[in-house]
């Protein structure tokens, strides 16, 4: 047994344990793929410790090590998550293209040094590569690159340059992994820098390997750098997970977890910015407070899961019906708030509120049930109604509750130059699509109390 590899193996083991502990707080498939890739790398490191004069047969160890290099590289490519393909298609594409590569590395690992032994791998690659690229990826460029790569491998094999054919192919696999992580991790991520650097070093050393083995003077330093990049990649993955957890915590501090809308804290900040914008542009700002009618009855009759889905549907509707530079937030419960800037006049604010109410009152289908949701809206205009954020919000809130107290008719509130109105607080008909087909529209009515 070669004990010289034990310190590096121990370091990799510790890093994997840390990543596994982080995995419990970072539940996603990518972390699982990272752990699988590192585990395969760990198996390769273990196999290296058995390289000794009285150890296991060299061919068995060589096949194991080369197979681990290849499989780990493919797993890391999968972990980079190419969003152009579904998870199933990515897995199928990599599995199919990994098969001829595995035949290639196994043939070399068994110490077969005759050109015809590599023909099955090259033929499989020339068939599977372009066909899978066209069928699964719908990409002729990938098909052409695949043909070019396997033709190059075939040429190296025909020249008896077996080591170059195998190790340069592995270099290509790890270069693809480096490129994919470079493109798909957050640009400002420190972990991304460590991961991309690690995979780039890995690819470089696969390219240099045929030269290094013929220059014994560089073997020791190459071995140290080779083991360093495994730790570098592990540390990079830990950093990425910590950075993403920090970003998620920061996001949750400013957003509503259920709907993804800004919460009260972020809304307050956006309102201040909107007021500053209105002051600079000398324009008006409409603050719309919106409360769903009869929402408590939905929770009580259909359950909180249905109520939560209603809130998500309403939040989606609001996002789609405001301008990109407006703010939609959830203040809590079934209460939402909108800040709309650059209102030309009172009628523009009125039209905006009417469009929001009309959008919300479109039927939605949840768990096979069609629902009509209505809402009460209260509006306050800056600077006509108030120049203070707290007073502006209080006025809009008061007007909304006045409307909820008078559900039988539309309400019109005059305040300065503001006109605020909302539809009557109608009952919420809920009916199953299945029952409609059987016996016509049957409805279940909820009162307007919330």
For the chain, the domain total comes to 2
Give a yes or no: residue 379 inside a domain: yes
Query: Is there a single domain that holds both residue 217 and residue 277?
Result: no
Residue where one domain finishes, among candidates 222, 254, 286 = 254
pLDDT above 90 for 109: yes
Q: What local confidence, expressed as pLDDT, does residue 300 receive?
A: 85
Residue where one domain finishes, among candidates 205, 233, 254 = 254
pLDDT above 90 for 401: no
Give a yes or no: residue 153 inside a domain: yes
Q: CA-based angle 429:433:436, to the nearest 5? A: 80
Query: Is there a single domain that holds both residue 240 and residue 268?
Result: no
Q: Within 13 A of 32's CA, how many CA atoms are on the CB side?
A: 3
Reported pTM: 0.68
pLDDT above 70 for 147: yes
**pLDDT band for position 2 (cuts 50, 70, 90):** low
Give a yes or no: residue 446 inside a domain: no
Strand partners, 421: 412
Q: What local confidence, expressed as pLDDT, does residue 51 receive?
A: 73
Helix, strand or coil for residue 258?
A: coil
Give a yes or no: residue 199 inside a domain: yes
Give a yes or no: residue 444 inside a domain: no
Query: Is there a single domain that holds both residue 273 and residue 146?
Result: no
Q: Can you tell me the mean pLDDT for 302-313?
A: 89
Chain segment 407-450, per-residue pLDDT in tens: 543 333 333 323 333 333 333 333 322 222 222 332 222 223 33
More confident residue, 187 or 23: 187
Give residue 179's domain range: 3-254
Query: Is there a single domain that holds both residue 94 and residue 129?
Result: yes
Query: Is there a single domain that holds both residue 202 and residue 309?
Result: no
Residue where one domain finishes, among candidates 254, 277, 305 = 254
Q: Can you tell me the mean pLDDT for 211-234?
A: 79
Query: Is there a single domain that holds both residue 151 and residue 288?
Result: no
Q: What local confidence, expressed as pLDDT, does residue 406 receive?
A: 66
- On whether the CB atoms of residues 425 and 409 are closer than 8 A, the answer is no
Query: Is there a single domain that holds both residue 227 and residue 83?
Result: yes
Query: Is there a single domain that holds both residue 73 and residue 217?
Result: yes
Q: What local confidence, expressed as pLDDT, does residue 54 receive?
A: 64
User: What 8-state DSSP symbol labels residue 52?
Assistant: S
Query: Is there a single domain that holds both residue 229 and residue 81?
Result: yes
For residue 395, give Cα distances in angstroms to 218, 335, 400. 77, 15, 9
Query: Is there a single domain that holds both residue 85 and residue 173?
Result: yes
Distance in angstroms (rounded) separating the CA atoms of residues 444 and 128: 59
Query: Is there a single domain that holds both residue 187 and residue 275?
Result: no
Give a yes or no: residue 391 inside a domain: yes
**pLDDT band for position 283 (cuts 50, 70, 90):** confident
Give a yes or no: residue 447 inside a domain: no
Q: What CATH number does residue 409 fall under?
A: 3.30.70.270
Give a yes or no: residue 445 inside a domain: no
- The rounded radius of gyration (Å) of the Cα atoms in the chain is 32
Could you give the percent of the chain with pLDDT greater than 90? Answer: 37
Name every residue whose Cβ is closer than 8 Å to that of residue 160 and which is 6 or more positions away in sequence.
Answer: 113, 115
Query: Is there a single domain that holds both residue 296 and residue 170?
Result: no
């Amino acid at each position: 047994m070669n004990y010289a590899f034990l310190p590096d193996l121990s370091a990799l083991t510790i890093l994997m344990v840390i990543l596994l502990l982080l995995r419990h707080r970072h539940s996603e498939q990518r972390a699982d793929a990272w752990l699988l890739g590192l585990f395969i790398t760990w198996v390769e490191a273990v196999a290296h410790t058995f390289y000794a004069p009285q150890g296991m047969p060299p061919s068995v160890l060589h096949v194991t090590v080369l197979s681990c290099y290849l499989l780990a590289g493919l797993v890391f490519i999968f972990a980079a998550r190419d969003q152009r393909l579904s998870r199933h298609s990515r897995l199928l594409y990599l599995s199919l293209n990994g098969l001829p590569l595995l035949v290639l590395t196994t043939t070399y690992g068994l110490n077969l040094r005759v050109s015809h032994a590599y023909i099955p791998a090259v033929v499989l690659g020339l068939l599977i590569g372009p066909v899978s690229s066209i069928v699964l990826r719908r990409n002729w460029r990938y098909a052409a690159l695949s043909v070019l790569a396997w033709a190059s491998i075939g040429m190296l094999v025909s020249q008896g340059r077996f080591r170059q054919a195998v190790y340069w192919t592995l270099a290509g696999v790890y270069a693809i992994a480096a490129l994919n992580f470079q493109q798909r991790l957050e640009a400002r991520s420190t972990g991304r820098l460590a991961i991309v650097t690690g995979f780039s070093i890995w690819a470089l050393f696969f390219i240099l390997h045929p030269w290094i083995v013929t220059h014994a003077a560089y073997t020791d330093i190459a071995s140290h750098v080779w083991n360093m990049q495994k730790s570098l990649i592990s540390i990079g993955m830990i950093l990425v997970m910590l950075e993403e957890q920090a970003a998620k915590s920061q996001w949750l501090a400013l957003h509503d977890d259920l709907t993804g809308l800004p919460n009260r804290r972020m809304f307050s900040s956006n309102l201040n910015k909107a007021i500053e914008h209105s002051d600079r542009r000398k324009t008006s700002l409409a603050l719309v407070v919106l409360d769903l009618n009869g929402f408590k009855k939905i929770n009580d009759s259909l359950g909180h899961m249905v109520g939560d889905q209603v809130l998500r549907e309403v939040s989606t509707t609001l996002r789609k019906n405001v301008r990109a530079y407006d703010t939609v937030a959830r203040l809590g419960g079934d209460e939402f708030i909108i800040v709309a800037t650059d209102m030309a006049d009172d009628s523009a604010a009125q039209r905006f509120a009417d469009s929001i109410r009309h959008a919300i009152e479109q039927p939605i289908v949840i768990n096979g049930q069609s629902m009509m949701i209505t809402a009460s809206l209260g509006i306050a205009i800056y600077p006509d109604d108030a120049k203070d954020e707290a007073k502006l919000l209080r006025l809009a809130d008061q007007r909304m509750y006045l409307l909820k107290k008078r559900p039988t008719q539309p309400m019109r509130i005059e305040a300065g130059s503001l006109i605020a109105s909302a539809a009557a607080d109608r009952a919420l008909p809920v009916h199953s699509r299945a029952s409609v087909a059987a016996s016509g529209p049957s409805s279940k009515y909820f009162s307007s109390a919330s």
